[in-house]
């Protein structure tokens, strides 16, 4: 009988600052492809153009805060 092998990785995660930029929730929804609305049980599909627009805006931002840096790294900038 063959035994399966597993690999685990542990990452150190920074505790993000409590104040988030206005655009950050929109980015998370665009990455997920869904927008959650409190009054509805089912999420609404996000237009992929929203994600592309945010992805294109981030490299142009002169901001150096935690959230912008995280988003740039996550989007491969």
pTM: 0.55
Q: Look at the block and give the residue holding tokens 């206005």.
A: 22
The one-character DSSP state at 46 is P
pLDDT digits (tens, 9 = 90+) for 10-33: 888 778 777 888 888 888 888 888
The answer, yes or no, to whether residue 1 has pLDDT greater than 70, is: no
- pLDDT the model gives residue 77: 59
Does residue 53 have a pLDDT over 80? yes
- Which residues are paired to 44 by β-bridges? 35
The packing angle between helices 48-57 and 24-32, to 10°, is 130
Residues 39-43: what's their mean pLDDT? 70
Task: Check residue 30 and give its pLDDT.
Answer: 83
């Amino acid at each position: 009988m063959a035994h399966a092998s597993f690999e685990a990785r542990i990452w150190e995660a920074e505790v993000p600052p409590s104040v988030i930029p206005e655009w950050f929730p929109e980015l998370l929804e665009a990455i997920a492809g869904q927008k959650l609305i409190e009054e509805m049980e089912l999420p609404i599909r996000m237009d992929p153009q929203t994600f592309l627009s945010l992805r294109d805006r981030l490299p142009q931002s002169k901001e150096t805060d935690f959230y912008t840096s995280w988003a740039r790294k996550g989007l491969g900038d």
